[in-house]
Structure 1
Amino acid sequence: MEPDPATTPTSGTAAAASSSLIFLGTGCSGALPDTRCLIKPSTPPCAVCSTALSLPPDRNPNYRLNTSLLIDYCHNDGTHKYTLIDVGKTFREQVLRWFVHHKVPSVDAIILTHDHADAILGLDDIWVVQPSNGENDADQIPIFLTQFTMDSIAARFPYLVERKQEDGDEDARGALLDWKIIEDDVNKPFTSSGLQFVPLPVMHGEGYICLGFLFGRRARVAYLSDVSRFLPSTEHAISKSGAGQIDLLILEANGLHGVGGHPRSTHLTLSQSLDAIKRICPKKALLIGMRHEFEHHRENQMLAEWSRREGIPVQLAHDGLRVLIDL
């Protein structure tokens, strides 16, 4: 499959007059390289992790930070609003690498999928991307999350929720956050920075619900980062045979080998992800959340063959990828 112009990196100039999706991270919870492969190398060494430090990340698609997406929504008047989905353990590095590279000045809103470490542990660093009102005062950032995730964050980050400055510490910095509770219900959408989002509840291991999101008016995008099983209402909302074909499906594929289906599974394998893509039938799909079994170029060659056979373009995304899209 020839490179798709809609899924190749673009310059800041090309993106200036368009909405886009910026993949800040496309890896698993532990991120890549997997440190275990470096401090306790196997024989032979892990092909992905052993070479991960030999190239800079902007030229190494196997270097993957925690899964996170930045939605750059261009309004009709040309102003840009940035909505961030998930703030994981590697958030500071994502800011240094990709906010700087893509000239992203701040974050206007945050959406959290669930309360696991790879989705929330970067909240302590949110203040560095806080928007300013031009008078050296920061504006509040709305954070959309379920009550379950809110309760978990309140226990882990009470100072972010209560917003109490440490006594005597005039230089203490903390984000000004406006917590907004949403429902895990496809029939209860919400609006962030002028863009409507439909919650897409999925199972992330039995007994635990994680949210994905459907958004976009002109081009419709579904983002599902942590899935072990689809709920019928969610699959209907994004399926061609259900509510109608979506333009882009962003879906996790955590494990390369195996067929999954174990009762304690918390993620989809590649074969399960591809089966879901065939059922959902989007116009195209990008995969995220990959562990170190995935070698980017090798797996994309295999996916190119699958895409030709099935008629649905599918590729692995990579950190720093910017996709121009008319939202």
Structure 2
Amino acid sequence: MATIVDVIFVGTGTSGAVPNISCLTHPDKKCKVCISAMTPEGRKNMKKNTSMIVRYKKNGDSPNARLRTVLIDCGKTFYDSALHIFPKYGIRELDAVVLTHGHADACYGMDGLRQWTLGGAVQKSIDIYLNDETMEVVQRTFPFLVDAKNATGGGDVATFNYKIISPDTPFTIEGLEFMPLPVHHGIYLSTGKPYWCFGFKMNDISYISDTNFIPEETMKRMLSSPNRVFVIDCLRSK
């Protein structure tokens, strides 16, 4: 068991992030949001790939123990976000990284995690929780992060321990249970079948970062116990 102390949004932007280079270089400068994101007063409009940190105390931890820290998703802009977020909130060690799906905005920042494990700078390794499909993406995209024998150059790569999760089985990280919330995230264009993405319920907090449809069974699972906080990506009425 664990008590969640806080959640920190590492990023709340689109897969391409904001600002968009096409807006910044447009001769007419029509996009006020992207243009303003480059100014001190408009910096709040600078949005990185969607990601969240959960910090909590495991039952039995001493009052002075560090907060357990789990990062959900590690997309293309993760390291840039971490340079701001981690020092600001005094975050150093990661107990785990949980990946919602295998798209670039969710996992293409994994190589940046080498700064945590190289030479044991912060920790010896990081546990990565992901499903089989996302694991296949990681193996294709970052073969050197799965087997260091595939590394080139200086061979400096992150050290990960991969933990495969399933859509119907809760898992526990340092006392905090994560209940998978499988949702649709678009379709496979070749087959028309849904592409699945994971949300997660942690105690009374539900987090769904990238969906266009929530199946009835997933909704029932999420509502099977009270929700104090429900985080979901942007909605659009039809």
TM-score higher than 0.5: yes
2:90 aligns to what? 103
For 2:97 and 2:91, the matched residues in 1 are separated by 15
- Equivalent residue number for residue 157 of structure 1: 142
Instruction: Pick 1 or 2: higher relative contact order, CA cutoff 8 A, min separation 6.
Output: 1
Report the CA distance shift for 1:137/1:128 in structure 2 as closer, same or farther (over 3 A): closer
* C-alpha distance in structure 1 between counterparts of 2:232 and 2:149, whole Å: 38
**Aligned Cα RMSD in Å?**
2.3
Pick the aligned partner of 2:8 from 19, 22, 25. 22
Q: How does 1:108-123 map to 2 (within 5 A)?
A: 108-123=95-110
Counterpart of 1:52 (choices 17, 27, 37) is 37
Superposed CA deviations along residues 143-171 of structure 1, whole A, max 9, x for unmatched, are 110001101110110000012275783xx
Match of residue 182 from structure 2: 201
Distance 1:132 1:250 in 2: 36
Give CA deviations for 1:6-39 in whole Å, capped at 9, x if unaligned.
xxxxxxxxxxx97111100000011111111111
Task: Give the distance between the partners of 2:166 and 2:232, measured in 1 at CA.
Answer: 21
C-alpha distance after superposition, 1:76-127 (max 9, x if no partner)? 3242111000000001111111111111112120000000000011001112
Q: What is aligned with 1:315?
A: none
Say whether residues 1:223 and 2:177 are aligned partners. no
Q: Is the Cα contact below 8 Å between 1:109 and 1:193 reproduced in 2?
A: no
1:35 and 2:18 aligned: no
User: How big is the shift at 1:214?
Assistant: 0.3
- The answer to whether the 8 Å contact 2:207/2:231 transfers is yes
**Take 2:27 and 2:174, find their aligned partners in 1: how far apart are those partners?**
46
Check conservation: 2:207, 2:230, Cα contact below 8 A.
Answer: yes
TM-score by length of structure 1 reads 0.64
Could you tell me how far 1:247 is from its partner in structure 2? 0.5
1:74 aligns with one of 37, 57, 64 = 57
The match for 2:191 is none
CA distance in 2, matches of 1:100, 1:165: 32
Contact persistence 1:87–1:120 (CA under 8 A): yes
Look up the equivalent residue of 2:104 and give its one-letter code. Answer: A
Contact 1:20 1:71 in 2 (8 A): yes
Partner of 2:161: 178
2:125 matches 1:144: no
Query: Aligned partner of 2:94: which letter?
Result: V
Q: 1:94 aligns with which of 68, 81, 84?
A: 81
* TM-score where L is the length of structure 2: 0.87
Give the fraction of aligned pairs with identical amino acids, expressed as a percent: 35
Corresponding residue for 2:229? 248
The alpha-carbon distance between structure 1 residues 98 and 137, as it changes in their structure 2 partners (threshold 3 A), is: closer
Tell me, yes or no, if structure 1 residue 85 matches structure 2 residue 72. yes
Q: Point out where structure 1 has 5 or more consecutive residues left out of the alignment.
A: 1-16, 254-267, 273-327
1:233 CA drift (Å): 1.4
Amino acid at match of 2:15: S
Q: Does 1:210 align with 2:197?
A: yes
Question: For the structure 1 residues 131 and 23, does the alpha-carbon distance in structure 2 shift closer, same or farther, using more than 3 Å as the test?
Answer: farther
- The 3 A distance-change label for structure 1 pair 204 and 110 is same
**Alignment check: 8 A CA contact 1:37 1:46 kept:** yes
Alpha-carbon distance, 1:194 to partner: 1.8
CA distance, structure 2, for counterparts of residue 229 and residue 70 of structure 1:
24
2:127 partner amino acid: P
Q: How many residues are aligned here? A: 226
Q: Distance in 1 between matches of 2:53 and 2:122?
A: 24
Asked if the contact 1:37/1:50 (under 8 Å) is kept, the reply is yes
Deviations 1:223-273 (A, max 9, x none): 00011101111111223xxx13300000000xxxxxxxxxxxxxx42x37x
Identify if the C-alpha distance between structure 1 residues 227 and 89 changes in structure 2 by more than 3 Å, giving closer, same or farther: same
Contact 2:93 2:122 in 1 (8 A): no
| One-letter amino acid matched to 1:198 | M
C-alpha offsets along residues 172-211 of structure 1, whole Å, 9 cap, x if unaligned?
Answer: 42211001100012xx100112210000000001320000
Distance in 2 (alpha carbons) for counterparts of 1:49 and 1:138: 37
Aligned partners of 2:37 and 2:44 also within 8 Å:
no
